Amino acid sequence: MTDYQEIHRPQFHFSAMKNWINDPNGLVYFDGTWHLFFQHNAKSNTWGPMWWGHALSKDLIHWKQKDHALHPDEMGSMFSGSAIVDHNNSAGFGKNAIVLFYTAANINDTEQSFTQCIAFSTDNGITWTKYKNNPILPVITSQNRDPRVIWHESSKHWIMALYLESDTFALFKSKNLLSWIKTQELQLESDCECPDFYPLVDNLGNEKWIFSGANGIYFVGSFNGEVFTKESSANLFEHGKNGYASQTWNNSQDGRRIQISWMAGGIYPEMSFNQQMSFPVNLSLKNVDGQTLLHRWPINEIKSLYHKTIEQKECIVSKGNSFVPKTNATIFDMSFMVQKQSSKALYLMIRGHYLSFNWEQSEFSMESSGQHKITGDRQSIKLPDEDKLSVRLLIDKTSIEIFINDGMISGSFCFLPGGYADPVIFLTYSEPSIIYDFALHELKSIWG
């Protein structure tokens, strides 16, 4: 057991009691409870054979880890997937059964194969039964995996998005969750794995569909129940080095589309646990200068963790005149407006770790502390070419998440803190920058 107070333990992000975790799986809300399943190696704090870990929450903030939902079996390891609530008993498991869709990964020294399977619960997720006639989809390609299933109300069909291979994905439809018909193949250039597929209404009142992959590349388009039609160029919602394999919750009853990611590549030396999830964000779709773009913003439930607030209406950061908020907090939610003036750059020291807003190159960057082995080393974020920016930072023990201009640009980064006297310092080595509407909310731990 753990008290969740280890030196590198995230204090308001989900991490497992012990051992390795990666992709979030099976995100679903039912009967007042948010379910978070996740890839979990039950026997080691490195990647290996996979179980589906399971955690529950009433508020998307405080989590309680439960027994594993899925265990490896003769068909293979339990790879990523999704979950739905079968309100109308489509599959015959029972009304309101929770159904998990997962990839069975049969990997050995000479070959590997992936098939798509299901399991279900009729007691609100306490116990799980694997479908006796698995798989529901046999091998299609050498890499097919990560089934993402949603309900499409207009066509009265269940829809599955599935990764095939390279940058190719497919859509399938079903009436009963057991037999599936492929309706489309589509490409998501420079992306692979872990598809997500869902509708959002933009700020002009138009319903659009989002198709994304594990790296955070997405298209906006339309969907007629069989075919997704791209209506945008490829965009990126995850600009950070460590955000990967994001998924959104199904069956939310409040109209929100809430997303969480694996913060891949974090470093947690000498810890019995390894890796963490991002903080949940609410997604919105906004038309900006003729482009329809995803915006991500931390869910409002974070305010329940606010402990003490430090505010300052305005200050000037100049050479020899740094701004040091009066706090000793190690975890906090910090926001401000910055006007760059004629300054070349604004720097922040966050618990001994450098963050840079380079105005000359219109770039935000973080000092590196570990290589993201999947998406590459995204060290920097391109900033809007504007004189004034809004910035929000979520700071946990070993992670920093940034949200710029109301979440139009966002990114997830892991770090190890260095030595420091003050948790936050604003400084510059050139002309002044002006900080407006500064607020730092010290946070309580979710593990108390």
What is 256-315 written as a DSSP string? --EEEEEETT---TT-SEE-EEPPPEEEEEEEETTEEEEEEEE-GGGGGGEEEEEEEEEE
pTM of the model: 0.96
User: CA–CA separation, 150 vs 251, rounded Å?
Assistant: 9
> Which residue, among 358, 349, 360, 352, has the nearest Cα to 322 in the 3D structure?
349
List, for residues 221-248, the tens digit of each pLDDT value: 999 999 999 999 999 999 999 999 999 9
User: CA–CA separation, 114 vs 386, rounded Å?
Assistant: 48
User: CA–CA separation, 66 vs 60, rounded Å?
Assistant: 15
List, for residues 379-433, the tens digit of each pLDDT value: 689 999 888 999 999 999 999 999 999 999 999 999 998 889 999 999 999 899 9
Q: 23 an active-site residue? A: yes
286 has pLDDT over 50: yes
* Residue carrying the six token digits 């974070």: 302
What is the residue extent of each domain of the chain?
19-299, 302-443
The per-residue pLDDT for 378 is 55
Average pLDDT over residues 370-381: 56
- CA distance readout (Å), 194 to 31, 104, 121, 318, 423: 26, 14, 23, 45, 36
Average pLDDT over residues 166-191: 97
Average pLDDT over residues 191-220: 97
The answer to whether 77 and 100 have CB atoms below 8 angstroms apart is no
The per-residue pLDDT for 370 is 46
Lowest-confidence region among 142-146, 313-317, 353-357, 415-419:
415-419
Q: Please check whether the domain covering 19-299 is classified as CATH 3.30.1300.10.
A: no
The per-residue pLDDT for 371 is 43
> Which residue, among 39, 6, 42, has the nearest Cα to 24 in the 3D structure?
39
Average pLDDT over residues 14-29: 98
Record the tokens describing residue 213, joined without a space.
Answer: 């992959």
Q: May I ask the CATH class of domain 302-443? A: mainly beta
Mean pLDDT of the chain: 95
List, for residues 54-82, the tens digit of each pLDDT value: 999 999 999 999 999 999 999 999 999 99
The per-residue pLDDT for 109 is 72
- Adjacent-strand bridge partners of 293: 286
Local confidence band at 289 (pLDDT 50, 70, 90 cut-offs): confident
Identify the active-site residue in 3, 23, 167, 196.
Answer: 23
340 has pLDDT over 50: yes
288 has pLDDT over 90: no
> Which residue, among 349, 339, 423, 324, has the nearest Cα to 386 in the 3D structure?
339
Strands 19-30 and 273-274: parallel
> Which residue, among 330, 313, 279, has the nearest Cα to 437 in the 3D structure?
313
